[in-house]
Each structure stands twice: as C-alpha cells, then as structure tokens.
C-alpha cells in the first residue's frame, strides 16, 4: 500500500511512499500542469492546450505516457505508453475513489475518509511511474471538484 500525504494543509502537492517506492507530485497553482519526482527521477506533466483534455508525462528522453480525458463530463482518462495502456476512471459517480485498470495495472486510489486529502493507493502495477501519473491526474480532479464546490468559481 502507498500512503499519499498532502505537503501542507492547503496544498494539492503530495508525498507518496510505500512498497519500496517514493514519489512527489507537483500541481502548479495556476493551470493544469506540474511535475512528478518518482524514485529519484524527475518528470514534467504538460497539458497540450488550455482547452485540451490531453496531458503528457515527459522526461529528458521523451514522452513516457499520454492521458486523454474521455469527456469533459466524465472522470475518465485513457492512458497510453510504450508498454501498453490503462484506464483511470471513477469507481462511483458519487465518490472520489478512482480505479486504474489495464495492461499490468489493477490499482485503487482512495481518500482515507470523506473529509481529508490524505489517500492510499492499493493494488498491483508493473510500472510505478504509471501509478504516480494516475495519482497526479486524480489529485487534479479532486482539486477541480474542491474549487467548483467552494463557490469561488472553478476550473
């Protein structure tokens, strides 16, 4: 099991640790881009355009994964990479839990309880970088939902 702890009380950046892995997620305050540091390796998460529903996980050697949001109205991403693909989708229409299923991946990303940003990742995946990218996308969705529910507008 991987523990996912927010870096601060108001932060959407996380420290992930467990199962011999460590990662840090970075969501930029403005926009929907950021970065990941996974087991000592740095990656950039880029969005292809303001209105695009497509993100890339990039390293110095090129694009590792791409994620395409299936619809503006659904919490589903189709993720593809060199070793195959996976789908990140909401486990339920009313809960924040997300599932990552596909080639060599069967993972659940769940909040610890309803009133926290702390989360856990459980399941099996061949590539921890895919899991960290899926968590980054999940944190983005959670941030969007929190922003939309705050009454201050949203993304």
Task: Give the tens place of pLDDT for each residue, 111-135.
Answer: 998 888 899 999 999 999 999 999 9
User: What was the pLDDT predicted at 107?
Assistant: 97
Q: Report how far Cα 66 is from the mean position of its chain's Cα atoms.
A: 12
Are residues 46 and 54 in contact, defined by beta-carbon separation less than 8 angstroms?
no
**Does position 144 have pLDDT exceeding 50, yes or no?**
yes
Share of the chain above pLDDT 90, in %: 72
* Separation CA 86–CA 119 (nearest Å): 21
**Higher per-residue confidence, 147 vs 121:** 121
**CA distances (Å), origin 89, targets 33, 46, 75, 86, 138:** 20, 20, 6, 10, 9
CA angle 118, 122, 126 (to 5 degrees): 125
The encoded tokens of residue 66 equal: 């791409």
> Which pLDDT does position 152 carry in this prediction?
41
Question: Looking at residue 118, what is its pLDDT?
Answer: 93
How many angstroms separate the CA atoms of 139 and 111, rounded? 10
Q: Look at residue 155 and tell me whether its pLDDT is greater than 50.
A: no
Q: How far apart are CA 128 and CA 95, in angstroms?
A: 24
The secondary structure of residue 96, as a DSSP letter, is -
pLDDT for the residue 150: 57
């Amino acid at each position: 099991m991987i523990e996912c702890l927010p870096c601060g009380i108001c932060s959407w950046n996380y420290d992930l640790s467990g199962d011999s892995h460590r990662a840090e997620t970075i969501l930029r305050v403005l926009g929907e881009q950021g970065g990941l540091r996974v087991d000592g390796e740095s990656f950039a998460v880029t969005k292809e355009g303001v209105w695009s529903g497509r993100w890339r996980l990039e390293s110095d050697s090129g694009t590792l994964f791409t994620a395409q949001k299936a619809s503006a109205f659904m919490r589903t991403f189709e993720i593809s990479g060199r070793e195959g693909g996976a789908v990140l989708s909401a486990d339920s229409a009313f809960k924040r839990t997300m599932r990552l299923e596909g080639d060599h991946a069967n993972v659940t990303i769940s909040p610890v309880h309803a009133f926290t940003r702390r989360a856990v990742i459980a399941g099996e995946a061949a590539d921890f970088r895919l899991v960290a990218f899926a968590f980054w996308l999940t944190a983005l969705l959670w941030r969007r939902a929190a922003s939309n529910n705050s009454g201050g507008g949203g993304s």
